[in-house]
Amino acid sequence: MSNDRRRGDERRGSRRHEVNVDVEWEGRNGREKGVLGDLSEMGCFILGSGDVEDGDVIKFYLPVSDGMRIEFSGEVINHVLEIGFGMKFVDLNSAQEELIVGLIESREQ
């Protein structure tokens, strides 16, 4: 039996939608640049080569307009060295939830 990182109850409780949005994220080693590669109502995958470990809580900053960014927090649940990491959101407020849903809906049209 192979060790498939994509299996398990914690994996993708909701459908992921492909996106391609430049973001900044912040972990234990400071701010890094990355690309939001996919998004769901529960989490996302950020492409980037920063140093993270499963269980780390990181912040990422999603650009919205005129240089404004909305901060999100999440726990790293799957990292792939030099590729990126999957995270599940923690402590989303209603404005953050609405932004995520709006971005997802814009990708479905």
pLDDT tens string 36-89: 999 999 999 999 988 899 999 999 999 988 889 999 999 999 999 889 999 999
Looking at the domain assignment, is residue 35 inside a domain?
Answer: yes
98 part of a folded domain: yes
**Residues 6 or more apart in contact with residue 79 via CB below 8 angstroms:** 52, 53, 54, 85, 86
Give residue 3's pLDDT.
Answer: 42
Domain tally, the chain:
1
CATH code of residue 53: 2.40.10.220
Token output for 4: 């498939």
The phi and psi torsions of 4 (rounded to 5 degrees) equal: -85, 115
The CA distance from 65 to 63, in Å, is 6
Q: Is residue 85 part of a domain?
A: yes
For residue 51, give its domain range: 17-108
